[in-house]
Amino acid sequence: MSAARFSVTPYVAAAVSLCSLVLAGTAVAQAYPSKSVKSIVGFPAGGGSDALARLVSAALSDKFGQQFVVDNKAGANTIVATQYVKSQPADGNTLLFVSASFAINPSLYKLDYDIEKDFTPVTVMAIVPLLLITNNNLPVNSIRELIAMAKAQPGKLNYASFGIGSAAHLAGEMFLSMTGTDLIHVPYKGSAPAVADVMGGRITMMLPGIGSAINLAKEGKLKALAVSTGKRVLGAPDVPTIAEAGVPGFDVATWESIQAPAGTPPDIVAKLNAAVREAVTNASLRQKMIDLGFEPDGQKSPAETGQFVKSEMLKWGKLVRERNIKVE
């Protein structure tokens, strides 16, 4: 009796091939991470973004049993770090820990990457409120009084930022736009020297990240007039918002997110998202974030993170065009 012959149709072959790919992808996701992961930060060590990346990376190391190692690649308003991560394999082993500059830069620079096409959003770790500060000798104690002074002296007062195109710069421009005031922008290389000049009276006002100035305000070394977010913040509940203090609708902040190279397997992205979500609900980690000036988030899905980043890119792009902001 001759052996039966079976033929495999193209459809069966394709189905078998597809199942093999799915099983292989699942196996990769289940094994992830199988080695240490690089957490790329676009700022130097020692700043707020670096501190948050180290906190979250430590939590991920504990969760997965593999080291998430922070690697600082500072330069060009986080463009250097972003370019580096874009060039890495899409296997979840290199992650970009990046601030709002990720969404601001497309409107200011000619980039060799597209933040929507070249990256896969993972999550937003935290919102970073900005704190509107002035020096103690300035004869104002509220946002309304500051606006009145600025309108009485158009083009004579100034405001600082930690760099052209930074969140502090664009928040300042948003403030000028919404209040109809005219102040001179003075960019610095970093928050520390700018805040020092606010305290010294050389700068009228600034909108730094709250973590870099709130303790100085509590110590009486400068005035904290308001926070930039739409609602009051956990780290300074007694400080009013700019919106409630005289500029209705003002709601501006920077933020910290995790992005992966485009094509990173969805299962790996989902594992990372769930791990950050879990970490940010930990009471100890949350308090450390608040102490650093962050409002813990971590609850956005990858899709919601992508939508949020796109909305931020559109918002800042509109402001850059309207205010004719250019980098030199």
What six digits make up the tokens of 278? 């879990």
**Mapped to the 3 state alphabet, what secondary structure does 135-196 carry?**
CCCCCCCCHHHHHHHHHHCCCCCEEEECCCCCHHHHHHHHHHHHHCCCCEEEECCCHHHHHH
What six digits make up the tokens of 124? 């937003």
Do the first three CATH levels of 35-128+253-323 and 131-227 match, i.e. the same topology?
Answer: yes
* Residue 318 CB partners (closer than 8 Å, separation 6+): none
Count the Cβ atoms, other than its own, within 10 Å of residue 199: 18
What six digits make up the tokens of 301? 């899905």
Phi (first) and psi of residue 30, to 5 degrees: -65, -35
> Could you report the per-residue pLDDT of 212-261, keeping only the tens digit for each?
899 999 999 999 999 999 999 998 999 999 999 999 999 999 999 999 99
Phi (first) and psi of residue 208, to 5 degrees: -80, 170
CATH 3.40.190.10 is the classification of domain 131-227 = yes
What six digits make up the tokens of 5? 């012959």
253-261/94-99 β-pairing? antiparallel
* Residue 10 CB partners (closer than 8 Å, separation 6+): none
Mean pLDDT of 145-163: 96
* Residue 223 CB partners (closer than 8 Å, separation 6+): 133, 134, 135, 136, 138, 140, 141, 217
Mean pLDDT score across all residues of the chain: 91
> Residue 327: its pLDDT value, please?
87
Mean pLDDT of 151-155: 96
> Could you report the per-residue pLDDT of 4-22, keeping only the tens digit for each?
444 445 444 544 454 554 4
> Could you report the per-residue pLDDT of 271-315, keeping only the tens digit for each?
999 999 999 999 999 999 999 999 999 999 999 999 999 999 999
94-99/37-41 β-pairing? parallel
Residue 65 has, within 13 A of its CA and on its CB side, a CA count of 3
Q: What would be the CATH architecture of the domain defined by 35-128+253-323?
A: 3-Layer(aba) Sandwich (3.40)
- Is residue 94 a contact partner of residue 261, using CB atoms and an 8 Å limit? yes
Cα distance between residue 24 and residue 30, in whole Å: 10
Cα distance between residue 287 and residue 145, in whole Å: 34
Q: Where are the domains of the chain?
A: 35-128+253-323, 131-227
158-161/205-206 β-pairing? parallel
pLDDT at 167 over 70: yes
Q: How far is CA 317 from the centre of its chain?
A: 16
Helix (H, G, I), strand (E, B) or coil at 125: strand
Rg (CA), the chain: 23
pLDDT at 132 over 70: yes
pLDDT at 208 over 50: yes
Mean pLDDT of 159-182: 95
